[in-house]
Amino acid sequence: MGPERKFGRSSFFDGGLLALIGWTILGFLVTVLSFGILYPWSLVMVYGWKINHTVIDGHRMRFTGSAFGLFGNWIKWLFLIIITIGIYSFWVGIKLEVWKAKQTTLIN
């Protein structure tokens, strides 16, 4: 047995395909109908669903981020992209991953 079975715990994802498709379509529609203004809400909604259905080493993950919290960062990042003539856009993906990691915890 490998180290993943050492303590009798397992890691898995218990979300379903239809739910993922539904959340993704809803996020897309919200983004399009709001002309992109609600994109942070869409990201939080889909990412939260994925994380909340993930178990690592027997511990369920929980996403605690909010669209409002991301929106503030989104505005700041957009401002930095504008004043750096697009250069800061290379860092936005990393900043988003850092934000998501800070909003993710393990429970039970």
Q: List the domain range (segments joined by +) for residue 51.
A: 9-107
What separation in angstroms does the CA of 5 have from each of 9, 13, 55, 61, 106? 6, 16, 14, 19, 19
Q: How many domains does the chain have?
A: 1
36 occurs within a structural domain: yes
How does 80-105 read in b/e, with b if 16+ C-beta sit within 10 Å?
ebeeeeeebeeeeeeebeebbeebbe
88 occurs within a structural domain: yes
pTM of the model: 0.80
What separation in angstroms does the CA of 11 have from each of 30, 39, 47? 32, 30, 18
**Would you write out the chain's pLDDT as a tens digit for each of its 108 residues?**
445 555 557 999 999 999 999 999 999 999 999 988 899 999 999 999 999 999 999 999 999 999 999 999 999 999 999 999 999 999 999 999 999 999 999 997
